[in-house]
Structure 1
Amino acid sequence: MSKFLNSILGAAASSIVLSTAAIAQDDTIKVGVLHSLSGTMAISETTLKDTVLMLIEEQNAKGGVMGKQLEAVVVDPASDWPLFAEKARELITVSDVDVIFGCWTSVSRKSVLPVIEELNGLLFYPVQYEGEESSKNVFYTGAAPNQQAIPATDYFLEELGVEKFALLGTDYVYPRTTNNILESYLKDKGIPAEDIFVNYTPFGHSDWSKIVSDVVALGADGKKVGVISTINGDANIGFYKELAAQGISADDIPVVAFSVGEEELSGLDTTNLVGHLAAWNYFQSADTPENEEFITAWKAFAGEERVTNDPMEATYIGFNMWVQAVEAAGTTDADPVIDAVVGQTFPNLTGGTAEMLPNHHLSKPVLIGEIMEDGQFDIVSETDPVPGDAWTDFLPESAVLESDWKELGCGMYNTETKTCVQMKSNY
């Protein structure tokens, strides 16, 4: 055979290989996974990366989406907030993903938000947050303040008789905005300003001795003190250790946490934490067939020692709603999928059904759990599903705002002026 013929055949073979690769690429739908796998937030976010991988594996076993297999594109923004924006841009423009599941802290979401909006991407955000935001390009599957912070505060007031409040948070937008809402709410409930202690610490903070002592001193007059904690990441380890070191039990000063779940407790000695609380929309201890099936699948995928938690359920609901919306829209293009996500329903893991509302928030039940010695939660309070509010009723400037992407096509509609205004940038 001549060299010329060999070269022709070789080129043809190469062309076939390239064409096959192109076809294979066309037959996959790329899913971006934007969670910290290193740094201070890895303690919480690594599990959510694993959750998305499990859900993709399960969906592919069912035949994928629209007959195509899903392909995960995982990046590590390394608990570096500006890097979240860079990685989001890379996922959309270089990796060509159709959707991103990611972020934990609000500062990381705020970093990503302008990129997602500029490139008309799609982000499913799975963690409780401070509200005061509604983007066409984001679906908020974690709790808004009226689905976590407000009910937890009511539990302190009505069930535990708390009279003084220590609002302890990590120093970034979520704790500051949440506590701003809670301060206003508590004052409306008749709690004097001097009975509300607010303190912020940096990410990774480890020396809690003075702060815990200040909280103890708050109750020197004999009034019942409670801590509302928006402490995030591995700083929780030092905080709870200091409570134990100072001999403070849940009977003395109860703590309700908004960022501590089963995953965070799995790395702690919970002996001295029994009775302290967390407010979420899901706990692993929920006794339902759906939850039992999810836990079994998770342990088979990730290992028997692994636990489940609330942001995992939010990821699970959001992922399945996205799958349903893509199938309904018949495309992965952002605009038709965004329209199709609104109104989607999917069974949650605690019983009942989650629904995606026109404000891009879910309806979710509110659960309060007491920490048990095994690191699980005894559910002591549960509500019917509560619709998530994008804008709180407890700040005057927000009480007049409404989000409705279906009928109004607006995330920040002023009900007094009857106008749609641009969402203020605070990132």
Structure 2
Amino acid sequence: MNKNRREFLKIGAAAGTASLVGFPHIWSKNSSLAFAQDGEIKVGVLFSLTGTTAIIEESLNKATLMAIEEINANGGINGLKITPVVEDPASDPATFAEKARKLVLSDRCVSVFGAYTSASRKAVLPVFEKQENLFWYPTLYEGRECSKNVIYTGAVPNQQQDDFIPWLVEKFGKRWYLIGSNYIYPKEENNYCKKLLEGLGVEVIAEEYVPLGHSEFSSVINKFRSEKPNVIFSTVVGDSVVALHRQYRAAGLDPATMPMASLTTSENEVAAMGGDAAAGHFTSAPYFMVFDSPENQRFVEAYRSRWGGDKVTHFVSEAAYFQVHLFKQAVAKLAAGDIGPLTIREAVKSEEYKAPQGLVKVEPENLHCWLRPKIGQCKADGQFEILTQSADWLEPNPYSAYPNQKCTAEGLKQV
């Protein structure tokens, strides 16, 4: 009996009979074998293939499936093949929750990879926490979450903004306009941004939010023209990004004097809007397609070979890809009879992987990843020029905007 199994059985013994009723996935060894039967391990793939965020989520689906195919082509995990069960939640949070329940309860998936928006993550979170299953979330997000049932592989605010905001202030000035989509992620990112800006003596001249899927930005563009901010800080997502950039360019505004600086505009959105509409604007992210590393060269070549030579990789598809390899490494440490969501969670803590962006690591205290921040400026060819990058990986702090709170292995603590 290995160490993980012993520790796992300790948890079950300490919980007692009443807890076994309350937590149906504190299972016996025989029931855990259901997660590794007939030479396969089933996982859920839960990204929108239709709806407003399909513009980005279909690429996450592709990156996830490609990683699974790579692992299976190399013998699987200790001889077990990964079988993906793909569902389309159609960019709708309620449908995300419905499909998550199916994947966990009916399909008996040992983990689910999925979601882009925080609204969809929040919708599925109760499913994974109630059923003691494991959700892998690849998207940059606003932090302020501390769940033992989610592995977070995207950037949190401190990993995108701590270098980016001072750099923009120094380069362009101290009058800022904040524009975002109307849901939790942009509002929390802007909350942290404003804390940084206050310390730098920056004036926020406007803070505005538009509905998801919004496509008419004429009034917003008129405000840009009249207010003349030094920086437009954008947390607009999905196909709205395409509309915003195209209308900005059509209005004749100049990114040399009034750039849009984004945490969410990647090569994928740029491909949809056209390089001319994105040229001159900035993004902060741990990964850009042009990053020079052997791992990234293999990733880009494999992605284009599998999905088409015109396809692009980006900072969320990269995380969607490497999190499957982290899953593989964690499962490989377990005996077949020990494979379950909670043992995988324990096995992935402190796990490292040489990702396309560089070496990443799962922080055992909060289940977020150490990542490597970079700042890029978009070019007319649709790719980014990397202007700066951190000298080392950066620790994830999901409560960076709330210094009196800390996510730990025991849960959220007041400090």
Tell me, yes or no, if structure 1 residue 355 matches structure 2 residue 364: no
The superposition leaves residues 153-209 of structure 1 with CA deviations (integer Å, 9 ceiling, x where unpaired) of 122112x132111111000000011111212221122224xx331000001111111
Q: Distance in 2 between matches of 1:249 and 1:26?
A: 60
Counterpart of 1:153 in structure 2: which amino acid? I
| 1:314 equivalent in structure 2 | 319
Equivalences for residues 150-299 of structure 1 within 5 A:
150-158=162-170, 160-192=171-203, 195-219=204-228, 225-299=230-304
Q: Distance in 1 between matches of 2:213 and 2:274?
A: 19
Give the CA deviation at 1:100: 0.6
Q: Point out the structure with max Rg over C-alpha.
A: 1
* Candidates 75, 79, 83, aligned match of 2:87: 75
The superposition leaves residues 227-286 of structure 1 with CA deviations (integer Å, 9 ceiling, x where unpaired) of 111100000111001111111121121111111111111112222432111111000100
Do the aligned residues in 2 keep the contact of 1:166 with 1:196 (CA within 8 Å)?
Answer: yes
TM-score normalised by L of structure 1: 0.86
Q: 1:381 to 1:26 in 2, by over 3 A?
A: same
Counterpart of 1:119 in structure 2: which amino acid? Q
Do the aligned residues in 1 keep the contact of 2:60 with 2:317 (CA within 8 Å)?
Answer: yes
Do the aligned residues in 1 keep the contact of 2:36 with 2:80 (CA within 8 Å)?
Answer: no
- Note the residue ranges of structure 1 that are not aligned, 5 or more in a row: 1-21, 416-427
Q: Distance in 2 between matches of 1:49 and 1:350?
A: 19
Give the CA deviation at 1:348: 2.2
Counterpart of 1:317 in structure 2: which amino acid? F
Deviates more, 1:24-33 or 1:34-43: 24-33
Tell me, yes or no, if structure 1 residue 386 matches structure 2 residue 391: no
Q: Name the Cα RMSD after superposition.
A: 1.6
Give the CA deviation at 1:414: 1.4
Counterpart of 1:390 in structure 2: which amino acid? P
The superposition leaves residues 283-325 of structure 1 with CA deviations (integer Å, 9 ceiling, x where unpaired) of 0100111111111111111111111111121122211111111
TM-score normalised by L of structure 2: 0.88
Instruction: Number of aligned residue pairs: give it.
Output: 378
Q: Distance in 2 between matches of 1:229 and 1:376?
A: 19
| 1:334 equivalent in structure 2 | 341
Do the aligned residues in 2 keep the contact of 1:321 with 1:341 (CA within 8 Å)?
Answer: yes
Do the aligned residues in 2 keep the contact of 1:370 with 1:377 (CA within 8 Å)?
Answer: yes
Question: Which secondary structure state, in structure 2, belongs to the residue aligned with residue 79 of structure 1?
Answer: coil
- Note the residue ranges of structure 2 that are not aligned, 5 or more in a row: 1-33
Do the aligned residues in 1 keep the contact of 2:100 with 2:124 (CA within 8 Å)?
Answer: yes
Q: Distance in 2 between matches of 1:322 and 1:211?
A: 43
Q: Distance in 1 between matches of 2:221 and 2:189?
A: 21
Q: 1:150 to 1:166 in 2, by over 3 A?
A: farther
Larger RCO (CA under 8 A, 6+ residues apart): 2
